[in-house]
Amino acid sequence: MTESLPLSIPAPQRTCTISEGTEELVREMLVRIGDRWSLRVIETLSEEGSFRFTRLRERLDGVSQKMLTQTLRQLERDGLVERQVFAEVPPRVDYRLTPLGEELGETLCGLWMWAERHLCDVQQAREAFDGQAAPAPRETAQAVTG
Amino acid sequence: MTESLPLSIPAPQRTCTISEGTEELVREMLVRIGDRWSLRVIETLSEEGSFRFTRLRERLDGVSQKMLTQTLRQLERDGLVERQVFAEVPPRVDYRLTPLGEELGETLCGLWMWAERHLCDVQQAREAFDGQAAPAPRETAQAVTG
DNA sequence: CTGGATCCACGTGGATACTG
DNA sequence: CAGTATCCACGTGGATCCAG
């Protein structure tokens, strides 16, 4: 298990060497894009470029106005999404991914493919876990004798 | 970003659109490992192999007993973490990553490196966003004169 | 059309007490 | 030592109303 440290980081290139903050940021980003809508926003914008508010909301069928606004604000704050406001009547606002957001989307692709590869594995693991939870007290189910 | 990817990912140009269930699973996994402790559990187990409950809890200083148990259960349910119960007194339980969990950890490495590369970018974006929120009504900051 | 503000339901995480 | 159960605080997401 020491042949490859998956989560250890080789060598930072940037001047901001904050190994501490990196873990924090990773978790923050996971939480951020793991919320109900961010991932779909990134996916949609990544595939089809620019979207205006209402059009985007239609695409993410089920999202409330508040949540879409909130989601877009958070993504914008992290520099992942860019807002372009047109001084028109009625108001028009376009949203699109920044280069930073696009790169994150590409990075997410690795996770995407992991999920695709192991979708069945996870589902089976869950079924097995849930299945053995009911019939037996599982605490002693696979107890090892020495 | 093909040169820095740890996995043999074929350089996606855009978000890879796959099946419905995959997106759901991706979001689930993001939420799961994005919670307060899962990422650290995976990281710790990935780096140092097997851990028993209390030892692991010491490592994740700050985690409550309930949350560690809950976190481990969820990871176990998804087939990412394996439990080994010893029928001893006092009780002993060892936790370690499954191959599936290790592969996920490796996949997460891509995200990790993204965060490392763009830690400054994100921080600056946040400062810029928060900074312009107060002084100006930002809605008309980059408005287009149509 | 865009989106801020408010009220509310619910899930999650933490502290504590107790069990095997 | 490992784990369950309970109570509680808080954040998050949704519905709705209101404003530019």
| Arithmetic mean of pLDDT over chain B | 81
- Better-predicted residue by pLDDT, B22 or A72: A72
Q: How far is B68 from chain A (nearest CA, A)?
A: 16
A and B: number of Cβ contacts within 8 A: 221
- Better-predicted residue by pLDDT, B78 or A19: B78
Q: Do B118 and A100 touch (CB under 8 A)?
A: yes
pLDDT number for residue A3? 36
Cβ contacts of A34 on chain B, cutoff 8 Å: 27, 30-31, 34
Residue B22, pLDDT > 90, answer no
Q: Do B76 and A129 touch (CB under 8 A)?
A: yes
The per-residue pLDDT for range B92-105, each reduced to its tens digit, is: 999 999 999 999 99
pLDDT number for residue B4? 37
Report the residue of chain A nearest B123, measured CA to CA.
A78
pLDDT tier for residue B86 given thresholds of 50, 70 and 90:
very high
Handedness of CA B76, B81, B86, B89 (dihedral sign): negative
pLDDT tens digit at each of 146 positions of chain A: 333 334 433 333 333 444 677 888 899 899 889 898 999 999 999 999 999 999 999 999 889 999 999 999 999 999 999 999 999 989 999 999 999 999 999 999 999 999 999 999 999 999 999 887 655 444 443 444 33
Read off the amino acid at residue B37.
W
Mean pLDDT confidence for B6-20: 47
Tokens of B56: 């692991």
pLDDT number for residue A22? 86
The dihedral formed by the CA atoms of A23, A29, A34 and A38, expressed in degrees to the nearest 10? 180
pLDDT number for residue A142? 42
Instruction: Let me know: does B115 contact A29? Beta carbons within 8 Å.
Output: yes
Residue B5, pLDDT > 90, answer no
Instruction: Let me know: does A44 contact B16? Beta carbons within 8 Å.
Output: no
Residues 39-98, chain A: which have Cβ within 8 Å of B?
39-40, 42-43, 46-47, 76-79, 84-88
Pairing mode, strands A51-52 and A81-86: unpaired
Q: CA dist A135 to A73, A127, A131, A139, B85, Å?
A: 47, 13, 7, 12, 18
Tokens of B65: 């007993």
pLDDT tier for residue B23 given thresholds of 50, 70 and 90:
confident
d(CA A126, CA A23): 28
Q: Collapse the DSSP code of A97 into the 3-class scheme (helix H, G, I; strand E, B; otherwise coil) and give the result.
A: strand
